Structure 1
Amino acid sequence: MKRKLLFLLLPLVTGSLYAQDTETEEKEEVRVYGGFESNIQWYLNDSGRGIEHPSTPLRSNNYFLTNYQYGRFTAGFQIEAYEDNGLLNYNPGFKGGGVGTYYLNYKTEKLELTAGYFYEQFGSGLLLRAWEDRALGINTALRGGRVLFRPSDNVRLTALFGQQRTGFDVSEGRIYGFDSDINLNSLFKFEQSDLSFGVSYVGRYEKVTIPDPNFDELTNAFAGRINFIHNSFYISGEYNYKQKDAILDVQNRINNDFVKPGNAILLNFGYTGTGLGIDATVRRMENMSFLSEREPTFVDATSSSLNFNDKVLNFVPALTKQHHSNLANIYVFQAQGKVDFIDQPIMKAGETGGQIDIFYEFAKETALGGKYGTKIALNASSWYNLPGQYRFTPADYETNLFGVGEKYFSDYNLEIKKRLSETLLTNFYYINQYYNTQWLQGGEEVNSNIVTGEVVYNFDTTKSVRVEAEHMWADADRKNWAGGTVELNLNDKYSFYVWDIYNYGNDDSAKQTHYYNVGGAYRYGATRMALNYGRQRGGLVCVGGVCRFVPESTGFTVSLSTAF
């Protein structure tokens, strides 16, 4: 009870500190800034779906971050409380309360030193990304030390050492890293072009306890990248290599007889011009699971730290369209970067595929543009298992560099935005998806087609209403869905919404469920408070291509966030 009371009082304490600091800022040159965030859920019984609330139905995730800056020094800490427990299916390591992270930083024009917890990313993150995403329950900060050195405007060098955060502790693995970013414009005297490159190193040292290991305790990984821009064209490439290491078996235990290296190739190129934009990305990954501890921690017989993106060193998002349609997010793709021998017919070594976006705007006062112009966006993505030879017992594989294997997923979509008047905007979306449920999570393959129509009417500069209707035709699993949304913005402070998606096509009439939600938000300056009630559809929830699984639930949600 004392801990809960302290956390509720933290925003008030911060306000007092900030006021005191404001009065003495000129004398002491101290700046205080940070924020507070609280997400509370009250889970209820739902007899219509046969759901009983958990044993602790009232749960909350709370974060208080404060930073103090004095001259070249900055220090800060983040206090976290998960009371009585964290929200459903968050990392169980986030339990109770305490100091989650802390740091001390010293910075000049050329040198920056950090001790404590810090966040970092090398290149695209395929070797290393330490980051925080509270919506996904991810915080993989490194605790240790980091040095950034900028000998010139064209060179940045980074060296670090640390252990990765897991819950309120750190993992056993020790992480070493070096990264460089070098710009060559001055050397080649480019005026209309930009050329840069970088190299990275990441080492993970973890003591091996099994007898006669066929791999080293220190796993080394290297990467090189290059970026080039000329006028409206750009291209970049990155290659990553991970030294051979033990692969996890079906039980997520080290297999000393199954040892392989890993690699990843990432290419991105495109064009931006008047009215036209093209962006394409190709990625091939093989055995690119990179954890701060080789073996995940088990929560129970069916769940481990991997289910919560815990102890994951690298950043491997799904390179697919991030839809805002509720129905388009039922079958979402998760990147398949690791080796996974599920059973005899399903053996995966990674993924290969790509995504392309094409944007075009028909100019105003043309036949297709009309008075206000018309915007069209095309997107296509397809992802496959790596082609090659696979053997289940004893486990082994040899992949081909080119070609594709079993298809995992595809998403082809069209988006048209058309303004009809100064106050009326319309949007239309068509989405075709293929989801190989058997290879991705077990079940039937699903082909679906989704159509969405949206209308936004602006009463004035601060008042608007948005109405959306959508429908999915699916040939398997839960079959057809229909949905709708109404959102009202009264001004820059108040907003309200109601939406529902209805699984009317389910072959099991008892599971033809409405997933409804109603809520609103209030904003004042840097403070936002939101309240909603409704049903959570079980499945994957994704942010920026990274996902976590959420169970079916019903209840109230209250969110509060503020910055100072």
Structure 2
Amino acid sequence: MQLNKILLFVFLGSFSCLFSQVDSTEVKKDYGRIFGGFESNSQWYLNDKGRGIIQPEDPIRSNSYLFLNYQIKGWTAGVQVEAYEKNALLNYNPEFEGTNVATYFINYKSNKFDITAGYFYEQFGSGMLLRAWEDRALGINTALRGGRIIYRPSDNIRLTALYGQQRSGFNVSDGKIYGFDSDFQLTQLLKLEKSDLSFGLSYVGRDEAIDLAIENPQFDEITHGISGRVNYSYSSFYSNFEYNYKSKDAVLNRISNTLDENLIKDGNAVSLNLGYSKQGLGIDATLRRTENMTFLSERVPTVSGDNTSLNFNDKVLNFTPALTKQHHSNLANIYVYQAQAGFDFKDPRILKVGETGGQIDLFYEFAKDTKLGGKYGTKIAVNMASWYNLPGQYRLTPAEYKTDFFGVGTKYYSDYNLEVKKQLSEKWHTGFYYINQYYNKPWVEDGSSDVNTNIVTAEAVYNFTSNKSIRVEAEHMWADADFKNWAGGIVELNLNDKYSFYVWDIINYGNDDSSKQKHYYNFGGAYRINSTRIAMNYGRQRGGLVCVGGVCRFVPESTGFTLSINTAF
């Protein structure tokens, strides 16, 4: 707390220095500019007798963020203050508590240099070794506090060096992070006319003292990570290959949340992306294999009640999103996949150390004024994703494994879907979606049985004017286990650029337990003016995983009001 206050005074003092420099050197005073924003997400949790939900002790909770930046010439300084009063929203990281200065930075940028001191965000390559980022909807902020230098000796070379400690709540983790990244563009050097070629190399090191309780450790205090990537494109074809390696370290057993000092393993991840795109046609395929690639800023996650910091995506250095289609359907998001990148030995039947699989996307547009395209054209999209455990030999006690690089093991998940979009007239737009999912709940989520689903969704949008429309959607899920069948619908009304309203409901009518055949309804609206948006809604939250961009957090069942305010200036 004291360090935050001192640095805040230094931050404010830097403004004075910058202003004094401007006063003494400029005939026409340039005071720079101040910009920033404010975001607040509040919930009032209510009792719901129909679902047996009792509101928490502090039923009104809020997450708020105020960020201010000052910029003059090549200098920028910023600070973010966060408030979680009286408490953070349910199932957010318990380290987010009270009101405090969360992040601060000062940055200088020129044609060749980009230098930052304080908190900063960074990503090397795809992020499989390092990604420091923020997503408030998921309660994630893994910024690094330290220093970063980016040097561009030419337009074709970018070099990055950094040092820091990862943010955790209003503090930082114990591990010290070192990093170096490089990007080289070879197109001009090799005088390539119809193609582009680049490659990059990365290094990330985590330095953390080994627990004194571990005698004669067979691993080092510093865990090294290296990565290489190549990007190549020619005409309408593009490709990317990346390999990541993590040096040997004691394996974290996520079930017991302890280090197995007798199981010392390295980790690796390899990904390949291939694609072809031209007008009216797109094909994209991504394959990935990860093994023991949990990379944390502290070897052992912090325990909080029945959760650990891993449950809140806290103290995670790398980024391993689920490579599956991100559906907008409420029912298609009941069974969502989370990437299985780490070591989980649950029992003799469920032993896993990673994942292998991929997804393929196909996009095609039937041209206008053709038999299948009609007057306005027809768009179709097909997505296929499948993910599996790594094949190999596994032993529970004492823990040991040896994987095979090729092949697949137990199936985790699959999602095969078809999307057809058709404009019927100047005012009518329609869409049809079919989704087939397989969800191995015992392996992915500690469930009792695997689930097969078939989901059908249809939507129609009618545009009254250029800024007034109504959207209607209906969907149904057939499931052979777990919650069984669902049905739902949505109505959205956009009156103009300022006002919008919606109402939706999904019902678990097929649940074998009739007491759980509940409606999950929600209705609300939003008001926009300039750069400010205010939204309010009332309804029931279905407990489960909420995902953004392939990264998820668990939310509990709840009922109540939600108020969101977001503005920029």
Q: Distance in 1 between matches of 2:537 and 2:449?
A: 33
Q: Secondary structure at the match of 2:347?
A: coil
Amino acid at match of 2:550: G
Q: TM-score, normalised by structure 2?
A: 0.94
SS in 2 for 1:188: coil
Q: Does residue 287 in structure 1 map to residue 289 in structure 2?
A: no
State how far apart, in whole Å, the 2-side matches of 1:211 and 1:490 are: 68
1:374-393 alignment runs, 5 A limit: 374-393=378-397
Report the equivalent of 1:14.
none
Q: What is the match of residue 137 of structure 1?
A: 139
- The answer to whether 1:352 aligns with 2:353 is no
After TM superposition, give the deviation of residue 29 of structure 1 in Å.
3.6
Aligned pair 1:561/2:563, yes or no? no
- Mapped contact 1:127–1:223 kept (Cα < 8 A): yes
The answer to which of 491-500 and 441-450 deviates more is 441-450
What is the alpha-carbon distance in structure 2 between the residues aligned to residue 461 and residue 150 of structure 1?
45
Counting only pairs closer than 5 Å after superposition, residues 48-197 of structure 1 correspond to structure 2 as 48-197=50-199
**Structure 1 partner of 2:438:** 434
Which residue matches 2:332?
A: 328
Distance 2:140 2:273 in 1: 27
Local SS of the residue matching 1:186:
coil
User: 1:28 offset after TM fit, Å?
Assistant: 2.3
User: Equivalent residue for 2:15?
Assistant: none
Q: Which amino acid aligns with 1:266?
A: S
Q: Is the 8 A contact 1:85 1:96 kept in 2?
A: yes
Is 1:225 the equivalent of 2:229?
Answer: yes
Question: How far does residue 192 in structure 1 lie from its aligned partner after superposition?
Answer: 1.4
Matched residues in 2 for 1:558 and 1:349: separation? 41
Partner of 2:9: none
Counterpart residue type for residue 523 of structure 2: V
Q: What percentage of aligned pairs have identical amino acids?
A: 70
Give the superposition deviation at 1:72.
Answer: 1.1
Q: Given the alignment, which residue of 524, 527, 534 partners 1:529?
A: 534
Distance in 2 (alpha carbons) for counterparts of 1:304 and 1:275? 47
Partner of 1:497: 502
Deviation at 1:71, TM superposition (A): 1.4
Which segments of 5 or more consecutive residues in structure 2 lack a partner in the other structure?
1-25
- Residue deviations 1:37-87, cap 9 Å, x none? 000000000000000001110000000011001111110000000000000
Correspondence for 2:460: 455
User: Which of 301, 319, 324 is the aligned partner of 2:323?
Assistant: 319
Structure 1 residues 402-421: aligned runs within 5 Å: 402-421=406-425
Residues 25, 224 of structure 1: CA spacing in aligned structure 2 closer, same or farther, 3 A cutoff? farther
SS, match of residue 251 in structure 1: coil
* Counterpart code for 1:552: E
Alpha-carbon distance in structure 1 between the residues aligned to 2:190 and 2:49: 70
Query: What is the rounded CA distance, in whole Å, between the counterparts of 2:73 and 2:461 in structure 1?
Result: 48
Instruction: Determine the C-alpha separation between the residues in 2 that align with 1:226 and 1:512.
Output: 51
Counterpart amino acid of residue 201 in structure 1? Y
In 2, the alpha carbon distance for the partners of 1:27 and 1:59 equals: 44
Structure 1 CA distance for aligned equivalents of residues 279 and 133 of structure 2? 35
- TM-aligned CA deviation for residue 26 of structure 1: 6.1
Specify the SS of the correspondent of 1:27. Answer: coil
The question of whether the paired residues in 2 share the 8 Å contact of 1:25 and 1:31 is answered with no
Whole-angstrom distance in 2 between the partners of 1:213 and 1:45: 52
Structure 1 segments of 4 or more deviating over 3 A?
Answer: none
Q: Which segment is superposed worse, 184-193 or 446-455?
A: 184-193
Q: Distance in 2 between matches of 1:557 and 1:213?
A: 50
Q: Distance in 1 between matches of 2:409 and 2:249?
A: 24
The CA deviation string for residues 358-404 of structure 1, in whole angstroms up to 9 with x for no partner, is 00000001110000000000000000000000011110100000000
Residue 23 of structure 2: aligned partner: none
Q: Which amino acid aligns with 1:90?
A: Y
| Aligned position for 2:240 | 236
Aligned equivalent of 1:444, options 430, 440, 449: 449
Shift of 1:25: 13
The 3-state SS of whatever aligns with 1:439 is helix
SS in structure 1 at match of 2:260: strand
Q: Does 1:478 align with 2:480?
A: no
Does the CA contact (< 8 Å) of 1:224 and 1:239 recur in 2?
A: yes
Instruction: Quote the residue 1:519 is aligned against.
Output: 524
Q: How many angstroms does 1:248 deviate by?
A: 1.5
Q: What are the superposed Cα offsets for residues 516-557 of structure 1, whole Å, 9 maximum, x if unpaired?
A: 000000000100000000000000000000000000000000
Tell me how far 1:234 sits from its aligned partner: 0.3
Q: TM-score, normalised by structure 1?
A: 0.95
Deviations 1:191-213, CA, capped at 9 Å, x for gaps: 21110000000000000012211
In structure 1, what is the Cα distance between the partners aligned to 2:553 and 2:157?
A: 37
5+ long unaligned stretches in structure 1: 1-23
Cα deviation for residue 445 of structure 1 reads 0.4
Q: Within 2, Cα distance between the matches of 1:45 and 1:397?
A: 48
CA separation in 1, counterparts of 2:337 and 2:466?
38
Amino acid at match of 1:191: E
8 Å CA contact retained: 1:224, 1:238: yes
Moved more, 67-76 or 148-157: 67-76
